Amino acid sequence: MSEKPPAASFYSGDCYDPGTSIGYQILQLGTLIRREVDVRMAAHDLTDAQWKPLFMLSIGRAETAHELARVLDCDAGAITRMLDRLEAKGLLERVRSETDRRVVHLRLTDAGRTAAAVVPHVLAEAHNDLFAGFSHDEWMQLRDFITRLIANTNRFAPGRPAA
């Protein structure tokens, strides 16, 4: 088991400036990336709240509403409402389990599979545009740094699901 790294002291509450905070900058970057992806997904008639569940279902990360809520880190009520909308659009269907009547599986329809199939291409294009001017080594180094940051945040609350 690896030891917890010592806490850094890069910031001080006495002179904290959001403009120089990497955490704040990451939040800003996430917002800007989401906005750009939203614009690109809108061309395919998908919203942020729609493409994520479709994509997670298409790659097998979830099969039920409960699993989808966990993977997307949102409450069951929000997932249920979104699934209702996706079902109304003809993108998915709910299928009761034959072995456990309490379980309802989520299945993409043909239209849902078609919609989900564009998602990785839109994401790849948006992310490649984001990294214009970066070398492969810089991209890999940033991935490594972000992986370490995620590992550090996962230590804040060990009981929480990992990002």
The tens digit of pLDDT for each residue in 80-119 reads 999 999 999 999 999 998 999 889 999 999 999 999 999 9
The tens digit of pLDDT for each residue in 119-130 reads 999 999 999 999
pTM: 0.82
Residue 160 inside a domain? The answer is no
Q: Which pLDDT value is given to residue 153?
A: 85
The tens digit of pLDDT for each residue in 31-51 reads 999 999 999 999 999 998 899
Enumerate long-range contacts of 145-150, CB under 8 Å, 24 or more apart: 149/26
Q: Which pLDDT value is given to residue 161?
A: 57
Residue 5 inside a domain? The answer is no
Residue 117: domain span:
21-154
Region 134-151: what's the mean pLDDT?
95
Tally of structural domains, the chain: 1
- What CATH number is associated with residue 88? 1.10.10.10
Residue 65 inside a domain? The answer is yes
Q: Which of 49-53, 75-79, 115-119, 157-161 has the lowest mean pLDDT?
A: 157-161
- 3-class secondary-structure state, position 65: helix
Residue 94 inside a domain? The answer is yes
The tens digit of pLDDT for each residue in 16-35 reads 898 889 999 999 999 999 99
Residue 162 inside a domain? The answer is no
Position 134 pLDDT exceeds 70: yes
Are the C-beta atoms of residues 56 and 68 closer than 8 Å to each other? yes
Region 137-141: what's the mean pLDDT?
98
Give how far Cα 100 sits from Cα of 63, 97, 149, Å: 14, 5, 40
Tokens of 34: 């989401």
pLDDT band at 14 (very low <50, low <70, confident <90, very high): confident
Tokens of 73: 């880190």
Residue 100 inside a domain? The answer is yes
Position 69 pLDDT exceeds 90: yes
